[in-house]
Structures are given as C-alpha cells and as structure tokens.
Amino acid sequence: MSRFRRFKSDFRTGWAKVRQGTAKVADRSLEEMEFLRLKFQLYKVEDQIKEHLRAAGERAFQLIERKGGGVLEDKEIQDLFRKVDQLKQEEARIRFEMDQIKDQG
C-alpha cells in the first residue's frame, strides 16, 4: 500500500509542476505579445516623428526660399514641432513600458 501512496504522491507532485510550468509559459507568452504590441506602436510613433520632422524641414525650406527667413515664427512649423514633442513623450512612455516588461521577464 505504501508504494501506491508514494506513486500517488509523486503523480500529484508531477502534475502540480506541469500545471505550474504551463501557467509560467502562458504568462510569458502574454508578456511577449504585449512587448511586440508596444514595439509595433513604437515603430508607428517613430515613423510619425520622422514624417513631422520632414514636413517641418520642407516648410522651412519653402519659407526660406520665399521670405528669406521667419522660419521659427511660422505657425505650421510650430504646430509640427509641438506634435513632435507630444510624440516624443509618447515614445518615452512606450519605451518605459517595454523596459518594465523586460525587467519582469
């Protein structure tokens, strides 16, 4: 009878370890999915920053050609730089969240 109890105990212990491992794998896969979602979001924000900076550069070039100056007073350029600043804050937030996920793993 003791062999049966030992077998039963070993079986329960093994089954508990399998469930624990499964839970860890599921948690890790959720972390990886969240990390990839954030990475995609980061790429999107970085592309938007590049687009806004490119547009600001084109606008500045147009103003210099037409007026010969007055670039920093232009409202369109100011709006573009304001958007870039907001996007850079969003980029920093995303990077912070990604670092937190890395630290957990």
pLDDT bracket for residue 1 (50, 70, 90): low
- φ/ψ of residue 59, rounded to 5: -65, -40
Average pLDDT, the chain: 90
pLDDT of residue 64: 87
Over residues 19-31, mean pLDDT: 91
pLDDT of residue 105: 65
Which residue type, as a one-letter code, is found at position 65? Answer: E
Q: What is the pLDDT of residues 57-104, one digit of tens each?
A: 999 988 888 887 778 888 999 999 999 999 999 999 999 999 998 888
pLDDT of residue 54: 96
**What are the residue boundaries of the structural domains of the chain, listed by start?**
29-104
Q: Rounded to an integer, what distance in angstroms lies between the CA atom of residue 31 and that of residue 3?
A: 42
Q: Rounded to an integer, what distance in angstroms lies between the CA atom of residue 82 and that of residue 98?
A: 25
Over residues 8-22, mean pLDDT: 88
Over residues 29-40, mean pLDDT: 94
- State the DSSP code for 30: H
Backbone φ/ψ region at 4: left (φ over 0), alpha (ψ -120 to 50), beta: alpha
- Of the candidates 88, 16, 23, the one whose C-alpha atom is nearest the C-alpha of residue 52 is 88
